[in-house]
Structure 1
């Protein structure tokens, strides 16, 4: 595994995720200026993520075609980051709900299009047997974006909202530019030769993204469909909690907007400390089993938060649930890549991951928000735990029907 390649890809993923984490933490509060229903806010936060369902397959397939050329997938990443910056910076300047929705949808449309391509970069520089460990380093970098987002919320939001929304996209442009400077310009020499995924012959050729999708979901009981179902369920609940956590802090815990936005900071630190051991452990016990254990811990964390509705209790809840999410995060994409018929379509298989996770992100916040409308903010953690229990059942079925793989 090339340490320098992992470092620069991690920086690129860090760059885009720093924007998304701040977006998830602060845009719901921006919407509350015009919308009072938690269900509607959750629906809006979910719909912007769902745009990836329509853009990712085509963009991912295009990136697979570009991967073996001199510039590789980088032009998509660089251009996407540049365009996405404009509507994001304009979000706090929007003076009406229609103007705010134009900014939100404009950012989400572009940012979703290149998000999966950035995540697929690691497959161009790291051999298949080392990708799970590489994902651990990448997710460790991603956890720092939650720290950055929380610090911006704590230190800047209450003083200057316009400045707070300008910092993440500027960081994104700088870091992606540095990553391309040190890695992208050497793409032609560094890109890996074609390797069959999971030891299979990599001779299958696909003429379109639709052909790849048809092959992946050829039957309702196919491993890919089952895995995508699990990704859909868990991504939905995690995004729902991320989207509604700041309003929960203001409504139930009595915190200011900036203080509530910083609630995720302890969980981000816990993620950073445990993600690498979890990445190595998933290779030992199997990625599907690691994901199942992670969902179980996620449920325990939510129940703890409901039982103790205080700032310390919520912090403990966020730490436990974030560690559970970390176990899922380091394994899910690699497990899906392992099911690909050839490495030439890994960008498109990343799009499958995005389709499943984006669909969950689209519905999860709305579903949890509707339950909050019905039961009140006090029961948000309990409602999320109930939905996460269903997710645990899906992963249990998945583990029984799909052979697990581990480095051991």
Structure 2
């Protein structure tokens, strides 16, 4: 639950960022492609920062642990830059605030995820990650409520609330989680003491991906790219879509994710229970089919009730991926001691998708109309499904040798 609180702290700002920053950008441009491109800047930065910081944390040893020190330093700095976004008085100032926030927040973004495999064995990670993702969905609900109740009254206050929440939650985590007691930390310390010089360098971690005989890790990474791109496009473009197509206010548009957040919470825990037993690959594939169906429902009749229904269904489908995608990544890592680096690689794939997806689908919207947003999203979802059909394993030989089970 404390790991879930760390995830909640991190996501409390990112969900509100995705919901409201596109509308701030839209005050300076009418191009959906440019909005999508700028919303992908933070993800592009994550491509560089997240795997490196994840690997650095794998090799960090402090009395506070190997992840927590980065969280304690990064959270308050990121909160300041986030709270400054609504005070930007020009397009250039807005971009500077977005960039500075993205640099700092991306630096510690994969570390909250990496805490889950540090504390949990492979066989229980879907359930543990399901609890963490429920915390993520709570931030979607909080973001929607802030959009609904605060944005139209005070945009500055609306941005300040998630920033304060992030700092407060991260302080609680730092004071209570006792990371040095985790099995992952103890295993890393033991491996470091026994290291004969052939430890896991970042080069070796990346090289291992391409030595995978059946290429499951490569297909998994590309599947993560496509799935994250689909979801990111839907989320980041939903507010301007609703304002343009459904003719609702900015606050109301930003609150449309509330039912989806509730659906995610309702689905995450049951899906995680089933996934630990029925298989994570199977659940992801079924989830993608459901997500595609939700997109097509939202596209069929562009009314407020149908759009909400489609988003809810898509959210349930995405939950199956969200609970299991990073768990597959952790379990396919060649050793349990490099889960930080693999969390970073997962974050890179998600960042590539979240960067390219909104820009690609936004460009297709520019060529057609806002009306076709969900149709274009469904097509990218089909690509994701095809890629996940090529992932053939649930756990690496290295972790099986360490005593892990799928």
In structure 2, do the counterparts of structure 1 residues 220 and 26 end up closer, same or farther at CA, with 3 Å as the change threshold?
farther
Provide, for residues 251-285 of structure 1, a one-character-per-residue CA deviation record: whole Å limited to 9, x for no partner: 01011000000101001001101100000111122
Specify the SS of the correspondent of 1:154: helix
Equivalent residue in structure 1 for 2:281, among 277, 288, 291: 288
For residue 393 of structure 2, what is the aligned residue in structure 1?
Answer: 403
Which position in structure 2 is the counterpart of 1:133? Answer: 127
Aligned positions of 1:66-77 closer than 5 A: 66=60, 70-77=64-71
**Alignment counterpart, residue 347 of structure 1, candidates 335, 340, 352:** 340
Decide whether the 8 Å contact of 1:295 with 1:325 is kept in 2.
yes
Match of residue 376 from structure 1 = 369
Alpha-carbon contact 1:295-1:324 (below 8 Å) kept: yes
**1:334-387 CA distance string (max 9 Å, x none):** 111111111111100101101111011110000010011111111111111122
* 1:388 counterpart residue number: 381
Q: Taking structure 1 as the reference length, what is the TM-score of the superposition?
A: 0.92
Matched ranges for 1:186-225 at <5 A: 186-192=178-184, 193-194=186-187, 205-206=198-199, 208-218=201-211, 222-225=215-218
Change (3 A) 1:228 1:69: farther
| Shift of residue 397, structure 1, vs aligned partner | 2.8
1:1-400 alignment, distance < 5 Å: 7-66=1-60, 70-183=64-177, 186-192=178-184, 193-194=186-187, 205-206=198-199, 208-218=201-211, 222-398=215-391
Contact preservation (8 Å) 1:283, 1:407: no
What CA distance in whole angstroms lies between the structure 1 residues aligned with 2:198 and 2:232?
35
Are the equivalent residues in 2 in contact too, given 1:67–1:73 (CA < 8 A)? no
RMSD: 1.9
Label 1:351 to 1:370 Cα distance change in 2 as closer, same or farther (>3 A): same
Q: Are 1:284 and 1:407, in contact at CA under 8 Å, matched by a contact in 2?
A: no
Q: Report the Cα distance in structure 2 between the residues aligned to 1:182 and 1:134, rounded to whole angstroms.
A: 18
Deviation (angstroms), 1:169: 0.8
* SS, match of residue 59 in structure 2: helix
Change (3 A) 1:320 1:137: same
Unmatched segments (≥5 aa) in structure 1: 1-6, 196-201
Distance in 2, matches of 1:123 and 1:204, equals 25
Q: Deviations along 1:75-123, whole A, 9 cap, x unmatched?
A: 1011111111121111111111111111001111111110001111122
**TM-score (normalised: structure 2):** 0.92
Q: Distance in 2 between matches of 1:268 and 1:366?
A: 24
Separation in 2, partners of 1:205, 1:77: 29
User: Does structure 1 conserve the Cα–Cα contact (< 8 Å) formed by 2:200 and 2:338?
Assistant: no
Question: Cα deviations across residues 199-250 of structure 1 (Å, max 9, x unaligned)?
Answer: xxx9994353222111223369522111101001100110011000000110
Shift of 1:388: 1.3
Q: Cα distance 1:118–1:67, how it changes in 2: closer, same or farther (>3 A)?
A: farther
Number of residue equivalences:
391
Change (3 A) 1:70 1:149: closer
Match of 2:333, SS state, is coil
**Does structure 2 conserve the Cα–Cα contact (< 8 Å) formed by 1:147 and 1:269?**
yes
**Residues 204 and 341, structure 1, Cα contact 8 Å, conserved in 2:** no
Q: Report deviation, 1:194.
A: 2.2
Q: Which runs of 5+ in 2 are unaligned?
A: 189-194, 396-403
